[in-house]
Copies of this chain bind each other. A is one copy, B any other.
Amino acid sequence: MNEATPLRGRRVVILVEQDYDHLDLDTTRAALAGAGAVVQVVGPIQGRIYRSRDGQQIAAEIAASAIRVADVDAVIIPGGFAADRIRLRHAMVDLVRDAVAAGKPVAAIDHGPSVLINAKALSGRQITCWPSIAVDAKNAGARYVDRPVVEDGNVITARKSDDLPFFTSAIIRQLTASS
């Protein structure tokens, strides 16, 4: 293992939809790519352009329906209202559910943890999230805490973009440990 690129050979997918938080997406992608991982942006439809809240845009490199969870090492759910749309995309919710079940790191920030509700991944699990969805997480069986980052098994959660340094460190640490 190369110390500078501990994630060489690992494949990480970041989920995207309209109104994604571009700071979450860009920062996480850069941190993981910098550690040597192959990072791919996965959306509902391959090649479609998705816009962030503040006018940035990004193309989905692969459709969620074309991803086999066996070929992925981690799944990232950025923040923003994109999560509200991802929740309605069956292939994306299935990918999250299957990755959680397979014990692979699944990391969600800001509103991203709402997708974990649809994936039925929160029962009895300790998490954090943007405060507006804390009640939804609790009603889904989660134990909500207000901390910058929370790791409960392979599920990593953070509250907001300010927490990105902790969020990306936790993802890289879990991926490194599982290699």
The size bracket of the interface on A is: 10 to 19
Please indicate the chain B residues that have their CB under 8 angstroms from the CB of A117 in the complex: 135-136, 139
- A40 is an interface residue with CB less than 8 A from chain B: no
Interface of A is mostly: helix
Q: How many identical chains are in the complex?
A: 2
A87 contacts the other chain (CB 8 A): yes
Closest to A130 in B: B84
CB distance from A174 to the nearest CB of B (A): 27
Tell which of A88, A118, A135 has the most Cβ of chain B within 10 Å. Answer: A135
A87 touches which one: B87, B135, B140 (CB < 8 A)? B135
A132 at the interface (CB under 8 A from B): yes
CA distance A30 to B140 in the complex (A): 38
> In the complex, what residues of B have CB within 8 A of residue A81's CB?
81, 84
